[in-house]
Every structure is written in C-alpha cells, then in structure tokens.
Amino acid sequence: MNVNHTIKGIIFDLDGVIVYTDEMHYRAWKHIADRIGVEFNRDINNRLRGVSRMESLEIILENAKPVSDAEKLALSDEKNAIYKKLLESLSEKDVDSDVRRVLRELKKRNIKLAIGSSSKNAGFILKQIKLTDFFDAVSDGNNIEKSKPDPEVFLKAAEFLKLMPSECAVVEDAYAGIDAAKAGGFYSVGIGAASAYDKADMKIHRFSEVLKLATLKK
C-alpha cells in the first residue's frame, strides 16, 4: 500500500489477536456438531476465523442434510449459550502481558485504538479481560450488516475514531480480515495465521511488533 499518511489509529481484531478464544469457539461448535452428527475438526474451526456466527454454522453444515432456517437459528443460539458459559471463565490472565504493555505505549504515543470484530460478544469479552477502557471505540458484530471480508466493520471503527481509513492500520489474524482491511483502504497487518498471508501489507510474529506502526511513514 502506498499512501502518504502516518498512522493515527489502529483497529484490532479481537478473537485471535487480543485474546485467544478459538478453543472456546471450537468446544462450543464441537458440542453442536457431535449432537447433530456432522464432522467438525480443528481444520474446519480454522475456517471460521473472522466469520460471523451464522456463516460459521453454514460452513459446519456444508456436508449435513438440509436444515431449516428456524433450526439454524436454534443451533446458533445453542452454540452461543455454550460459548458464553465458557467465556465466563475468561479473565485478564488470558491476555498476554505484552498486549497490555503495547496498548498502553500506543496510547502514550497518541494513537487512537479501536476494536473491529465480527463477534457480537466483543463487549462481554473486553469486560472479562478488563480491556474495555483501553479502546476509544468498539465496532463489532452488533453494528454491522455484512461480515468480513466486507470492510464494513473496519469502516465503522474508523468512523467512530473520526479518522480516514488511510490514517488507520488494521491488525488481523484472519485472511478474511486482511481482505476486509484491503477492501476498505486500510494498511493491513497480519499476525498469527494471517502472518503467512501474502496480501498483508506487513506481517508480524509478535504482538510487540505493532509498535512499529506508531512511527511508520507509509
């Protein structure tokens, strides 16, 4: 990406970037899949990264016999009830100390911070891990119509921060999230699974490398 702005805001994906909820999503979906007799494994779980709850269910049901819309709604509600129960055990201990240190440092450097997550549980998760107050804005599954790879969640986050997409970087672990960032005109940073994605403008392997963005002249 080639624009002449410095970074004024950073939009972080939540699940898989700030905190690792993958295992909880996996356990909740596994319970549902086992009950209805469809195959579900960690490879399929990886495909759910960044994907909305209902779209995740559609992926899980790819090889199942047809399911009505009402049943789908009941299954996604059941999954969420199990997932939320698991989230109750989440605490600040589940956040890497580096994450807290880096967010504090970014604030000191006057970088605006936002969450850009497909999850409708983002507010609850932030409360559990005691990070709510670190973010100037939260854009999540509750304020969007279209899920990643659509850029809506990040465009809303930038709007909440009162910044242009070209002034913001997006930090993502999902390929769909990097695609969403690129589609919205953001500088994209791949971490975790997305650090292997060639479309990411920057690939990082440790959260502390986010600090490079605070001085980056793109």
Question: Is residue 77 annotated as part of the catalytic site, yes or no?
Answer: no
What is the SS3 assignment for 166? helix
By beta-carbon proximity to Mg ion, the closer residue of 174 and 213 is: 174
By beta-carbon proximity to ligand BG6, the closer residue of 23 and 92 is: 23
CB–CB of 95/126 below 8 Å?
A: no
Residue 189 exposed, middle or buried by CB count within 10 Å (0-12, 13-18, 19+): buried
Amino acid at the residue 134: F
Bridge partners of 11?
A: 114, 170
Q: Which one is catalytic: 15, 140, 173, 179?
A: 15
User: CB 110 → ligand BG6: shortest distance, Å?
Assistant: 27
Question: Is residue 140 annotated as part of the catalytic site, yes or no?
Answer: no
Residue 24 exposed, middle or buried by CB count within 10 Å (0-12, 13-18, 19+): buried
Residue number of the CB atom closest to Mg ion:
16
Cα angle vertex 173, ends 99, 88, to 5°?
60
By beta-carbon proximity to ligand BG6, the closer residue of 85 and 104 is: 85
- One residue of 7, 11, 15, 33 binding Mg ion per CB under 5 A: 15
By beta-carbon proximity to ligand BG6, the closer residue of 48 and 75 is: 48
Amino acid at the residue 103: L
Q: Which stretch binds ligand BG6 (CB under 6 A): 9-17, 150-158, 159-167, 202-210?
A: 9-17
| Residue 174 interacts with Mg ion (CB under 5 A): yes or no | yes
Give the binding-site size for ligand BG6 (rule: CB under 6 A). 18
The residues that touch Mg ion, with contacts defined as CB under 5 A, are: 13, 15-16, 173-174
